[in-house]
Amino acid sequence: MSKVEIQASNIKCGGCVSSIQDGLKELDGISAVSVDIESNKVSVEGSNLESKVIEKKLAELGYPIEE
């Protein structure tokens, strides 16, 4: 079990949080997703997590990584 924290962007409301949680849970190995609207930080817990895959999915969902 490991944890990855990603600085995303464009997260503004509870609807964004739900889409991120639903979207990321489609990925393999992810057991929990928490999102902080204020800081736009997305924390993902699970096994065999790959940041690149998670970042790509976030971008597809409309919440790209903040450069």
Contact positions vs Cu ion (CB under 5 A): 12-13, 15-16
Q: What does the alpha-carbon distance between residue 6 and residue 63 come to, in Å, rounded to a whole number? A: 11
Residue 43 CB, nearest approach to Cu ion (Å): 18
Q: Are 27 and 33 in contact (CB under 8 A)?
A: no
How many Å apart are CA 16 and CA 67, to the nearest integer? 20
Instruction: Give least dist CB 15 to Cu ion, A.
Output: 4
For residue 16, the minimal CB distance to Cu ion (Å) is 3
